[in-house]
């Protein structure tokens, strides 16, 4: 298995303590920082624009892991790359599950020099993305319905994680398998045992001592 990477979601950050909490993340064993970009259309909530990402880029050398929950990822993905993203994932559903458009956007992102991946909602069949698995650096499996933080972990999504792990082993691919939603001190083992190597966690990390909460997910 790949080394486990923790990617705390800044959606759960206390913005009145943003500098303090970014400093704590920098001091922690978290290697990535997860940005949930929501447009109020693909999902009902609205979060960050590219200028916010630029601000975080100035405060950290961590990998900026940008998850686009937007209706037009073809337009916005390059903008977030220019703002400092290192990894960009986008929803296949936002491109009408069109494999040609999905493949083309992955190519665009790679040509801009960043890592790229796809995201699937809980109701999307994971086998649908098999034809483009040779192009992705990561697959993000949503373990909650996207749009809001603090939801409960959907354990039945672990079958998708295991399918992705088995397919990766079978084909000799090297993509990471990320899970996002409800990851905490009780659920992270389930995700890792299923085959995930990259964990997005929000409320769990920011509700207490950030350095300690991150470390607890690596034990």
Among candidate residues 14, 36, 65, 82, the one labeled active-site is 36
In contact, 180 and 9? CB cutoff 8 Å: yes
Nearest-angstrom CA–CA distance, 116 and 36: 15
In contact, 200 and 183? CB cutoff 8 Å: yes
Q: Is 209 a catalytic residue?
A: no
In contact, 66 and 85? CB cutoff 8 Å: yes
In 28-178, which residue ranges form alpha helices assigned H by DSSP?
A: 50-59, 73-82, 99-111, 158-171
DSSP letter (8 states) at residue 156: G
Neighbours of 99 (CB within 10 A): 14
In contact, 153 and 125? CB cutoff 8 Å: no
Q: Is 82 a catalytic residue?
A: no
Among candidate residues 39, 65, 137, 180, the one labeled active-site is 180
First to last CA, the chain: 15
Place of tokens 């705390």: 8
Active-site annotation, residues: 36, 180
């Amino acid at each position: 298995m790949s080394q486990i990477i923790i990617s705390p979601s800044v959606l759960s950050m206390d913005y009145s303590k943003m500098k303090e909490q970014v400093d704590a993340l920098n001091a922690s064993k978290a290697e990535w920082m997860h940005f949930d970009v929501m447009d109020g259309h693909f999902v009902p909530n609205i979060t960050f624009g590219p200028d916010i990402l630029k601000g975080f880029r100035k405060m950290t050398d961590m990998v900026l892991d940008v998850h686009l929950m937007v209706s037009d990822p073809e337009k916005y993905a390059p903008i977030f790359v220019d703002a400092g993203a290192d990894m960009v994932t986008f929803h296949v559903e936002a491109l009408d599950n069109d494999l040609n458009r999905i493949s083309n956007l992955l190519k665009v992102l790679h040509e801009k020099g960043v890592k790229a991946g796809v995201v699937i909602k809980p109701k999307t069949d994971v086998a649908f993305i098999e034809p483009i698995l040779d192009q992705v650096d990561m697959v993000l499996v949503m373990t909650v319905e996207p749009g809001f933080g603090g939801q409960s972990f959907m354990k039945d999504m672990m079958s998708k994680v295991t399918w992705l792990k088995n397919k990766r082993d079978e084909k000799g691919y090297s993509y990471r398998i990320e899970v996002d939603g409800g990851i905490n001190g009780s659920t992270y083992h389930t995700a890792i045992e299923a085959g995930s190597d990259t964990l997005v966690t929000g409320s769990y990390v920011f509700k207490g001592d950030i350095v300690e909460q991150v470390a607890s997910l690596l034990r």
